[in-house]
Structure 1
Amino acid sequence: MIRKTLLPLCAALVFLGGVSGCGLLGGDDPAARAARHPAGSSSRKAEAAVPYDVAPLLDPKKEFFGVAVDGAPSSMKPVDAFARTVGKKPNLVGSYSSWGDGFNAEGARNVFDYGGLLYVSWEPFKPGLDKIADGSQDAYIRKFAKSVHETNVPVAISFGHEMNGNWYPWGTKGTTPETFVKAWRHIHDVFQDVGATNVIWVWSPNVINPVPSVELEPYWPGDAYVDWVGVVGYWSRTGAHTFATLYGPTRRQVARFTHKPVLISETSSEPGERRRADVRALLTGVEKDGDVIGFLWFNIPKRADWRIQSSPLALAEFKRLIAGDAFGFEVPRS
């Protein structure tokens, strides 16, 4: 895939112009539970002395094909089952981690050994962004960062996703853009201090369609603190139904202040008559748009059955399109 100059992209479903994300797994996610109670022998330290260099992954020549499934990444069996269902191995595996959880080092290694990259949506439900920004959470942040550093495999981290919505405590009703930016930069700086440079930092707003009055730029931490712009946007039965209308307004706004690579960082299509067309619009849109580096499909039943296998016609379309050479590559070993 040839890159052009980069041009920009659940508490409840929002059907007027966009859908908010469904990453409310928190403590219910098996990966999160494993991270809170890691086995003493399962968190393996890196075997290599040289830190993993994520630079080749930042703007890949092929598209990332990601999935979030129950049970992964503590076990890769659900990912294998999904791969058999759609006919191709994902190279990006999504997970959710609540603030206070330990880093799931075993899960990160599992994904890396599978040939992929672990994607962590880090959800600061408490104690609040102000406490993170003022340094009072530094012992926890440092411990998490050291575990990431010692695991020494590539990890993508999205802190406080969908911050432009009002459905999370770190969103528009719970804090200010200034506090969000201060917390983000502080976490990033602690990771740098401990040498955890094997992280790809992903800033992931929700599509602006359901929250058009919220400007994104005040939430932007700065080019030095972000590697990818992640865009969360779901396909609903009554909302935007083209790649351009779902993701375009957000990407145009983002283009005013940055030109970082864009990942569709959380998406799926609501079951219904339009689902097959939605799948076609998503996959062909990602493949044809030289500024987008891939997508992560939410394949977990939560408030709706987002699993692609729940709709035979949509699954057939997904299998047909994902089989193309544009999607999927093995994450390099070093």
Structure 2
Amino acid sequence: MNVLTRGKRRRPFLVNALAGALVGALLLPLAACSSGGQERIDDSGNPAQSTPSGTSAADPVARTKTLSKAAYLHPKGVYFGVATFHAPAWATTAAVTAASERHPRMLEYYQGWNEDFSAADAELSYKQGAVPLLTWEPFAKSRAADQPEYSLKKIASGSFDSYVIRFARQVKAAGQPIALRFAHEMNGDWYPWSEKNSGNSQGDYVKAWRHIHDLFQAVGATEVIWVWSPNALRGARDVPLKPLYPGDGYVDWIGVDGYGFGEETATEVIQPTVDEITKFSHKPILLSETGSSPGPQQPGWTADLFRWIKRTPNVIGFVWFQHSVDEGGQYDYRFDVNPQTKAAFRKGLDSLTLSPWPVTSDAPQ
């Protein structure tokens, strides 16, 4: 783990679905639908506006209705996303909603290769009015950077095909679009899927990605939104991104993971990476992980993040990494700990046209 670029631990696997459902039953008002995406939630967690005519916050059909993948690819507004330690549990989504006064429309969570696909987690995201963003990490229990047993060569050559095919069939059976972020931050040196680790060689990452993608296509799991997600260049300056890119035919969104570690602005962290990416692709960009370390610069960094999103073409959303140190973060990234940062976050959300929910039936098809 590179201390200049990392600072995250993942949620415990297999959140108790029954417990989530019980908590959710108490928090149903937080999942109220909105046709405009700008509904305000007060600090007690209650909608400040009534539910639009024709929908009901207590109507599970209205809350869980999903459209085709195409409807989510180009949202009419910016996705406000969040990654919490127990995502996609109701309680953590409700806490973010109350703190931000906006309901997240994307929930990011993580799993390794010792688990099958959880249709329940994806459904729970949709029940809360959010697109599920699953970061799928090709390792199991160990977080060591060097794990030859999970080498890219083994993935590309078919050593894990039985697992991947089973996973893909489970995704297909769920019948809902899911954003899948496979083997993220590949340009760093802190994960086993780096081409610098695990006996990997240059070109292996693209081969592994394409192989995984082709297996999903072969079983008919075509509702996946494929998210290719490098780390900001600041943490991996000597690794060019283009040779790691699988190609536009294999990617739907390009994710960027960019954290502030004392910088004054988000722009200086993120913009160089986006400039590099736009030299070889114009796919929609999602800030797939972002946040700022605590300090006097944090409120200004946060305010600048929203200004950057607003002025940068082709950015469809962001995911704030809402983890504390106790939850494994190198820093406490939670936006609501510092009152000034919380105010900057709320003001920033107010400045954006946020994606509505449902995405609307007249979205691009």
TM-score normalized by the length of structure 1:
0.85
The corresponding residue for 1:166 is 189
The corresponding residue for 2:201 is 176
The corresponding residue for 1:127 is 150
1:200 aligns with 2:225: yes
* Distance in 2 separating the partners of 1:271 and 1:143: 42
- Give the residue type in structure 2 aligned to 1:285: W
Q: Please, which runs of 5 or more residues in structure 1 have no aligned partner?
A: 1-10, 15-19
Residue 176 of structure 1 and its aligned partner are, at CA, apart by 2.8
SS in 2 for 1:166: coil
> After the TM superposition, which residues 109-124 of structure 1 pair with which residues of structure 2 at under 5 Å, given as runs?
109-124=123-138
The corresponding residue for 2:95 is 81
- Give the residue type in structure 2 aligned to 1:203: W
Q: Aligned-pair RMSD on alpha carbons? A: 2.1
- Give the residue type in structure 1 aligned to 2:73: L
The corresponding residue for 1:6 is none
Q: Which has the higher contact order (CA 8 A, sep 6+)?
A: 1
Residue 168 of structure 1 and its aligned partner are, at CA, apart by 0.9
- Give the residue type in structure 2 aligned to 1:293: I
1:191 aligns with 2:216: yes
Distance 1:169 1:201, change over 3 A: same
* Distance in 1 separating the partners of 2:82 and 2:219: 30
> After the TM superposition, which residues 130-145 of structure 1 pair with which residues of structure 2 at under 5 Å, given as runs?
130-145=153-168
* Distance in 1 separating the partners of 2:76 and 2:258: 23
The corresponding residue for 1:209 is 234
Residue 72 of structure 1 and its aligned partner are, at CA, apart by 1.5
* Distance in 1 separating the partners of 2:8 and 2:180: 14
Match of 2:273 among 250, 262, 271: 250
* Distance in 1 separating the partners of 2:71 and 2:316: 13
> After the TM superposition, which residues 40-55 of structure 1 pair with which residues of structure 2 at under 5 Å, given as runs?
53-55=68-70
The corresponding residue for 1:100 is 114
SS in 1 for 2:203: helix
The corresponding residue for 1:33 is 14
Q: Percent identity?
A: 37
- Give the residue type in structure 2 aligned to 1:58: L
Match of 2:355 among 318, 324, 328: 328
Residue 13 of structure 1 and its aligned partner are, at CA, apart by 3.0
The corresponding residue for 1:259 is 282
Q: Please, which runs of 5 or more residues in structure 2 have no aligned partner?
A: 22-60, 140-148
- Conserved in 1, the CA contact under 8 Å of 2:76 and 2:355? no
- Give the residue type in structure 2 aligned to 1:79: T
Residue 52 of structure 1 and its aligned partner are, at CA, apart by 5.0
- Conserved in 2, the CA contact under 8 Å of 1:105 and 1:151? yes
* Distance in 1 separating the partners of 2:6 and 2:256: 10
- Conserved in 2, the CA contact under 8 Å of 1:267 and 1:297? yes
* Distance in 2 separating the partners of 1:148 and 1:101: 13
* Distance in 2 separating the partners of 1:88 and 1:291: 22
The corresponding residue for 2:337 is 310
* Distance in 1 separating the partners of 2:114 and 2:204: 19
Match of 1:62 among 46, 56, 77: 77
- Conserved in 1, the CA contact under 8 Å of 2:184 and 2:228? yes
The corresponding residue for 2:180 is 157
- Conserved in 2, the CA contact under 8 Å of 1:202 and 1:227? yes
1:299 aligns with 2:322: yes
- Conserved in 2, the CA contact under 8 Å of 1:21 and 1:233? no
1:230 aligns with 2:255: yes
Residue 103 of structure 1 and its aligned partner are, at CA, apart by 1.1
* Structure (1 or 2) with the larger CA radius of gyration: 2
- Give the count of matched residue pairs: 301
